[in-house]
Amino acid sequence: MIKKAFIFDLDGVIVDTAKFHFIAWQRLATSLDINFTEEENEQLKGVSRVNSLKKILEWGNKKISPDVFQSKMDQKNTEYLDLIKTLDTSDIMPGVHDFLLELKKQEQPIALGSASKNARPILKKLGIYDLFDVIVDGTNVTKAKPDPEVFLSACDQLGYVAQNSIVFEDSVAGVQAANTAGMISIGLGESSILKAADEVFAHFTDMPQNYINTLLSKKK
């Protein structure tokens, strides 16, 4: 039986937390008198917390001391955690749970490859933590997406090579990371944004029947 490493991003792929990251960043930007748009937010998808704040400050042309920087990061995360406190199984994005269960049935290896430091508690809230054989998140990596470290570490820990790995991503930075690693990149979202992905779907429910089999024989 053919096997491949199936690596999932979290925010915007498994759960629609991208909107909560946006709200929390927007409140933070406002507190610094910075105008922060949805287009700018698109560029923050997949980007680590620290790099996101650096970019917002750069766009707003603002300089803050290291102490204030740290407190603003904490403030953003507190707001974000408050926004996601009621997350549960019903917040899993359409088709994702069935897709994961089908992979389990076929005994395919599953990993998480996320920039978020909140990934583990979120997976637990969603009730799908145990479906993952390997979890690589913002607490394990030193180089943020678009660097491929997070995905390379995930496939390595699963015991697979990059060429036999498939990444599911909603962000431009994440698709770039998967492509740089030499992995198949499946975009979730808009094809006009995720142009570099090997294939793009709006949702997992838009994938054709038996798509897992298609992916198992797909080459980069």
Closest approach, Cβ 144 to ligand BG6, in A, equals: 8
- Annotated catalytic residues are 9, 11
Query: Which span sits near ligand BG6 by CB under 6 A: 40-48, 102-110, 124-132, 148-156?
Result: 40-48
Binding flag, residue 44, ligand BG6 (CB under 6 A): yes
x/- binding map, residues 135-154, to ligand BG6, per CB under 6 A? ---x----------------
If binding is defined by CB under 6 A, does position 45 make contact with ligand BG6? yes
Q: Which of 5, 4, 9, 22 is nearest to 177 (CA)?
A: 9
Question: Under the criterion CB under 5 A, does residue 40 sit at the interface with Mg ion?
Answer: no
The reply on whether position 21 binds ligand BG6 by CB under 6 A is yes
Interface positions, 107-126, toward ligand BG6 (CB under 6 A): 114-118
> Does residue 198 belong to the site contacting Mg ion (CB under 5 A)?
no
Of these partners, Mg ion, ligand BG6, none, which one is at the site of residue 47 (CB under 5 to 8 Å by kind)?
ligand BG6
Binding-site ranges for ligand BG6 (CB under 6 A): 10-11, 21, 44-49, 52, 77, 114-118, 138, 171
